[in-house]
Structures are given as C-alpha cells and as structure tokens.
Structure 1
Amino acid sequence: MRTVTLRRVVITGLGAITPLGNDVNTFWNNLKAGKSGAGPITRFDTTDFKTKFACELKGLNIDDFIEKKEARKMDLFTQYAMVVAEEAIKSANVDLEKIDRTKFGVIWASGNGGMQTFEDQIIEFAQANFVPKFNPFFIPRLISDIAAGQIAMKYGLMGINYCTISACASSNSALVDAFNYVRMGKANMIIAGGSEAPVTRAGIAGFNALKALSTRNDDPTSAARPFDVDRDGFVMGEGAGALILEDYDHAIARGATIYGEMVGGAMTADAYHLTATHPEGLGARLGMQQALEDAELTLEDVDYINAHATSTPLGDLSELKAINTLFGEHAKKLNVSATKSMTGHLLGAAGAIEAIACIKAISDSLVPPTINTTNVDPNVPQGINLTIGQAQQREINVAMSNTFGFGGHNAIAVFKKYVK
C-alpha cells in the first residue's frame, strides 16, 4: 500500500486588484485604514435599478498589462486574472526557465465567469432578430475555466489546471485544492485564486431580484454594514486575488521569500437551502472544525477570523453563531472582522483577497477593521470582538478565512505565521 508523506506548503507570491487598490500593498494599506471602496456605478445607466452603487475597480488600465489584441479575446474576469497572476509571479521572484513547469499548475475560481460577455452577446442576438451571428470568441470569453487556461498559456505552466466553482466559496475552494495537491507532491507550485467581474446590468438586477443587495443609494460608502441591526444586504464588488502555494523545500531551494504558510482547509455543505445559510451555522461550524483538525491546531490556537459576513440579515448571525458554538469561551479572545465592509463582496474572488488579508494581518500583527457597524444587532453573541471602527494591533499566529456560497457551499482556509 502506497503511503504519502505530506509536504509543508508555503505562500511565496501574492497579487491583488480590488476596489481598494490595484496591487497588494495599496489594497492592504487602505484595508487597514478602514476605507470604503463603494461608489456610484459607472459601467451603465442605473436609472431603473434598485441598487445604483457598487465597489468598482478604480484607475486600472488593462493596456498596461495585456496587449489590446489579446485583451479583446478575454472577458473582464479573465483580464483581472491575468493582472494578478503577473503580480503574484513577480512577487514570487520565480525564474520560469529554471523550474520544472510541468509541476507548476493553476487552479482558478470564478462564480460567474464571463457575465458581461454573455449579457452583451445575448442582447446583440435579440437585437438582430435572433439571427445567430455570434462573436467567435463568445464561448472562450464566457467559460469560467478559461482564466486558468490563459494564465497557463502565458507562462507555459503545464501542471494541474482547472477551475473551481462553488459560488462565493469558489476561490477558497481553489486554495484548499491547491494546498492539497502541493502537500501530496502532485505539484511544486500552484497559482490559486479567483476573479470576478459582476458589475453588469444582469449581475445587479439579478441579485436585486433575490433581495440580496443593499439599496442604501443615498450613502454607498456606509451601505456594507456587517452585524449592524440596520444591514440590508451586500454591496457588489469586483476584482481578483492570486496566491502562489509552493512546496516548502522547493521554495527554500530557490531562495524564495515566504509570506506565510497554509496549514489546513476544509469544504462542507449546509445541505439546507438554495440561497440561505443554515440558521445555526451547522455547515460553517463543521467546516471550521474540520479545517482546524486538518491543520492539527486547537481552537485556542486561532487568533483571527476573517468572516464571510456579507451584511445579509441571516448570514451574518448564522456565522457568528457557528463561531460562538465552536470556539466557546475562546470566541471572546479572538478577533473577528468583516473586510467586505470595505471591499464589497467579490463573490467567487472574495476568498482570494481575504486570504491575502489574512497573510498580511499575520505579518503585520494587525487585524483589519469592520467599518460601518454603528448599532450591533442585539442577536449577535455577547463578547465577540468584531474589531469595529478601526484596526487593532495584536500578535496573530493563526488566521482563518471563511467563505460560504449559494447552494450551501462552505470553504475554510487556515493560515499560519511562517517560522523556519
């Protein structure tokens, strides 16, 4: 019987474009400063829409990263993926000519894929009286797996390559998969993360129809208010995040800078409802418990939880119930924060940028804040430190990132301070 010696998995590359900044450092600096990325939607006329604001990217010039001819073959979500993959590879300082690229993979996530492409092409189809004259790049721009393929083609990466889709848990699912493949020796390096470009007419109208989005149009910057008694839904966000997960020995051999370590992960299902989380957070609690068991850590080892916390009335409370029930008295000793209060909800890309927030929180010994929470819901379990208003300094050795998605998907990732 074959046995597998599990390898140590470290993080050697980071890349981010978010509503708070178009690189990792700008994103992190604005996150810890408690800035909101929300503002009026600029992509289309919102006159007839219930929600007229979102957390859009700002000042990103795709021409600086991708040739126009190539960009025309890509939906925005793929363009975003290419930008953050480049930053991650540069930050990893990897010489692609000196490594085995058959052992370098890509696992990429997107909950929606080429939503803008689909919307545009179907509108053109209808306006042409349903004569089927589609753009030849319609399908390659649309499909969710294409970002992983494009990254691999640009850098000649011939290892594991596919897309994970589990709604808003998608990029954490990608991270957990990448972690497992690297520690089992199936890859030396994997670029894992996610990208999303859902600020479209269909994206906003569709989530409005679900009553999932905030309609606080008079004050967008305060609309994302996790745990607040007046929360009324999430704020749509867009962007991407990438992490390079690498075998520890491989990283040491090439002299890589190590930003942190991934030590555990788990994926579970609520098996409860199409869009709602389990009211007692049973699936979330199981996921957190299994992720810590996978990491061989105790409840008391956890210092910080980056909560999924989207600002929905049921979701925020069910997650805190899960944390309170699982961690017991220790729930009062750790910090919880909801960075979606600043970035908005990047759907399938949320886990990737929140994983980066966890890595930076560990390295800087600083918990990013939860903003806009002015009147805490009385149903929130007593004693949990929600890091309201401003960042808090504390030693962080272990951070956990929670992501949950429509369909009852839960994906949890656990990160640890790197020690030789």
Structure 2
Amino acid sequence: MSGRRVVITGVGLVSPYGGDAADFFERLLAGESAVRLYETDDVPRPLAIPAVRCAALDVDALLGRALASTMDRFAQLGTVAALDAWRDAGFDPGDRSEKPHCGVAWGTALGGTLAYERGYRELWLAGRPRVSPLSVVLGMNNAAASHAAILLGLANACLSYTVACASSAIAIGEAFRRIRAGAAEVMLAGGSDAPHAYGVVRAWEALRVLAPGDAESAPRACRPFDRERAGLVLAEGAGALVLEEREHALARGATILAELAGYGSTCDHAHLVRPEAAGQRRAIALAMEDAGLAPEEIDYINAHGTATREGDPTEIAAIRDYFGPRAAGVAVSATKSMHGHMLGATGVVEAIVTVLTMRRGAVPPTAWLDALDPDCAGVRHIAARAENLPVRAALSNSFAFGGSNAVLAFRAH
C-alpha cells in the first residue's frame, strides 16, 4: 500500500427494482429476483429468454428531452447513475463550472449497440437510404463518460474502458490509481450497459451460456455455484461511485462510505473464453498486497459468479488457492443470481453491493443455491437468505472474456 488514501463518498445506481441504491440493497437482502422472461416478436425470429430490464425510467424528465435524444440507452442509464452519485457525494449537479481536479473513468462492454442495430435495421430491413446523423455519437463507447464530464464540468481525464465484463471494475481501479498518484482529487467512476439488442442476444445464445427458462421459472434461472446451474442472465443497468482523496473529502465534510484500499488486475494469457484460476488468483493477490491486507482480515467476497459451468468452479478454485485454510471462513455470495449479469456495468454494481454490505453488516445471499456443486465447495457460501455479519474488509471480483481479471479491495471506514 502506497500513496494517498482513496475513499468513496457517493453512489448512484439505475437498477431493475427502481428506487435508490439503499432500496436495491434491501431487495437483495430479501432474496428478491429481478429476472423475468423477456419476449419480443418484432424481428424475423421471436425471442424469449430470462433477462433483467431496468425499472421504468423517465429519461426525458431526468435529463431533458433534447439531451436524452442524443444518447443511446447505455449512455442514458449511465448519465442518470453518474448524476445520482455526484449528488449523493454532496456535490451540486447543477454546477457546470470547470473542475480541473475532477475526472471520469467509465466502463462499458457493448457501448451503443442499440443505436447501431437501429441503423442496421433502417438500412437493411426497412431499405432506407441513410441512417440518423447522430448514429456515431449515439454509438460511441465513450458517450456515457463524455456526457457526464460535460454535464458536471469534469475537466480532468475523461477515460473509457471496454474490457468485457471487467470494464467498470477496471475503470474504478484505474481511477483509484489516478487519485492515489496525485493526478486527480475526485474521480467519478462506473459503468453502464444495455445489451438487449436482438443481434447481441442471439450472439450470446450462440455461445450456449444463457440460462433457459419460461415465464414461471425465469426468476430462478440464474443459479451460481448450484449443481443444476445452466448459464447466465443478461441484464441492463448502470452504477457510479465518487472516489475522492481522503483528506480532500474530510476537508469538505463529506460522508465517507468506505475506503477503496487496493486494486489488482491481471490477464490469464490463455484463452478468449475459458477462465484460468491462476490468473484470477494473481489478481486477488495483487489487490490484497496493494491494500496491505492479510487473508484473515477479509470477511466477505462478492463473487463474479455468473452461473456458467466453467466460470464458477474456476473462481472458487482461485479463492481457495489464495486463502488456503482461511477460505472456509470467508463469506461468499454472487448477487447476479438476483440482478443478472450487467456485463460492463456489473463490476461497479457489485462494488456498490460490497460497500453497502460493509455499511450494513449484512451479507446478501446467492439466491437459488439449493444444491452446491462439489467443485464449488471450500468457502462459506451465503445461500438462500442474508446473514448479519460484521465486515471489516471485503473483495469484489470481476473476471472477463479475454482473460482479463480485476479485483477491488475495500476497507470499512
């Protein structure tokens, strides 16, 4: 551990439950699934899959109709979450003055996929001679970060990361490093994705990693670590954290929610879609070393836990390998079982869950974990229902296609 200390002073979230981050966390503690059957018949081949969609959001009212019309849905969701986090940190979202000590770091896996698909349909299905002149700015992956910077006057770095499912975790980690190195005082860090474009869903379906289900079984479709797990559930969503140099936060009287104490990122350098425990273990070790934490200090791990056949046992193997005998006493849960896999946004959303777990002293469960896969044994799974547990320090894991791994280490403040 070196350099300046970094704390979290604000959170913002757009979730399938509606409400704010506190309400989202209460739903997770209650074991409430947001997974529903998503159906569409406006394409050549009807679609019906378990999925998670955000609660109704009046973006015209929240952002203004003119501004909202220049954004793809991933940027709309992300901008709303960013403004909420900024406000939660005690800053005025209406203050557009230049802030050279404040910046943005944002993650997305897919960016403006919906905008691009709309253009393809207009050209190839509707036979129109041209697409919207806004197509490029709607679709660009840095749109969410850029809108946040423009709206809030954030004149420090405006950074975007596309690292599949680790995108927003890496955005948070790199923002953390920027503050710690003295290159910024405040960073707005997070991510957003809206993956339910028809072509995107069909592409994930072709990989054979999506959980099946009908209207009745859909809420239980995502079952991380369970012997009967059958795949992940695609979700849309957005989250944001305000990271701040600790002395800067104290000087302005900010409420400190937790300390982001360490960050580790590695590459498996092995396979595009098959994870490797060794690379994940190295990311855990780097985060722990960076934070100056010992294995016995970790009380909780929010697992990446996608409910895929290969991913779940690989992650547990990495945890067992790093923690050794201590692994059996570390509480582990995978909240994707309830809110689904938000791809580029999942890292920040699960970081928020981890922070709120420490604040509340309550660990949300891995829902629908009825029969543990023996290959996923060796840790203390929090299954079926939440447990009250004091959490001094915690990890949040994010592991992505391409072998990219990111681990965030948090300490209670």
TM superposition score category, shorter chain reference: over 0.9
C-alpha contact (below 8 Å) 1:51/1:213 kept by paired residues? no
RMSD across aligned C-alpha pairs, in angstroms? Answer: 1.8
Deviations 1:161-206 (A, max 9, x none): 1101110000000000010001111111000000000012112111
C-alpha contact (below 8 Å) 2:39/2:48 kept by paired residues? no
Residue 127 of structure 1 and its aligned partner are, at CA, apart by 3.0
Write the letter of the residue equivalent to 1:291.
A
The answer to which of 197-206 and 238-247 deviates more is 197-206
SS at match of 1:313: coil
User: Which residue does 1:153 correspond to in 2?
Assistant: 150
Residue 21 of structure 1 and its aligned partner are, at CA, apart by 3.0
Write the letter of the residue equivalent to 1:236.
L
1:225 maps onto 2:223 in alignment: yes
Change (3 A) 1:99 1:328: farther
Q: Structure 1-normalised TM-score?
A: 0.94
User: Which residue does 1:263 correspond to in 2?
Assistant: 261
User: Which residue does 1:81 correspond to in 2?
Assistant: 78
Separation of aligned partners in 2, 1:269 and 1:18: 30
Residue 146 of structure 1 and its aligned partner are, at CA, apart by 1.1
Separation of aligned partners in 2, 1:9 and 1:254: 15
User: Which residue does 2:246 correspond to in 1?
Assistant: 248
Deviations 1:36-65 (A, max 9, x none): 001121566589456522011122221231
User: Which residue does 1:296 correspond to in 2?
Assistant: 292
2:362 pairs, out of 359, 366, 369, with: 366
Gaps of 5+ in 2: none
Change (3 A) 1:47 1:301: farther
1:164 maps onto 2:161 in alignment: yes
- Which structure 2 residues correspond to residues 379-390 of structure 1 after superposition, within 5 A? 379-382=375-378, 384-390=379-385
Write the letter of the residue equivalent to 2:297.
D
User: Which residue does 2:387 correspond to in 1?
Assistant: 392
C-alpha contact (below 8 Å) 1:50/1:208 kept by paired residues? no
- Which structure 2 residues correspond to residues 1-400 of structure 1 after superposition, within 5 A? 6-41=3-38, 45=42, 48=45, 51-95=48-92, 101-127=99-125, 129=127, 131=129, 133-217=130-214, 218-278=216-276, 281-382=277-378, 384-400=379-395
Write the letter of the residue equivalent to 1:357.
V
C-alpha contact (below 8 Å) 2:41/2:47 kept by paired residues? no
Residue 152 of structure 1 and its aligned partner are, at CA, apart by 0.5
Q: Structure 2-normalised TM-score?
A: 0.96
Write the letter of the residue equivalent to 1:395.
P
Change (3 A) 1:11 1:233: same
Deviations 1:250-308 (A, max 9, x none): 11111111111100001101111111212xx1111010011100111111111100000
Q: Aligned pair count?
A: 411
C-alpha contact (below 8 Å) 1:50/1:215 kept by paired residues? no
C-alpha contact (below 8 Å) 1:222/1:372 kept by paired residues? yes
Deviations 1:337-380 (A, max 9, x none): 00000000000000001000000000111111000111111222
Separation of aligned partners in 1, 2:43 and 2:261: 44
SS at match of 2:324: helix
Deviations 1:116-169 (A, max 9, x none): 1111101111135474x1211101010111111110111111011110111000
C-alpha contact (below 8 Å) 1:22/1:60 kept by paired residues? no
Deviations 1:48-104 (A, max 9, x none): 456522011122221231111111110000000111111101111124769971010
Write the letter of the residue equivalent to 1:364.
R
Separation of aligned partners in 1, 2:96 and 2:7: 19
Separation of aligned partners in 2, 1:202 and 1:313: 24
Deviations 1:210-262 (A, max 9, x none): 11111122510000000111111101111100000001111111111111110
C-alpha contact (below 8 Å) 1:238/1:346 kept by paired residues? yes
Change (3 A) 1:358 1:43: farther
Gaps of 5+ in 1: none
Separation of aligned partners in 2, 1:98 and 1:396: 38
C-alpha contact (below 8 Å) 1:260/1:416 kept by paired residues? yes
Separation of aligned partners in 1, 2:396 and 2:99: 29
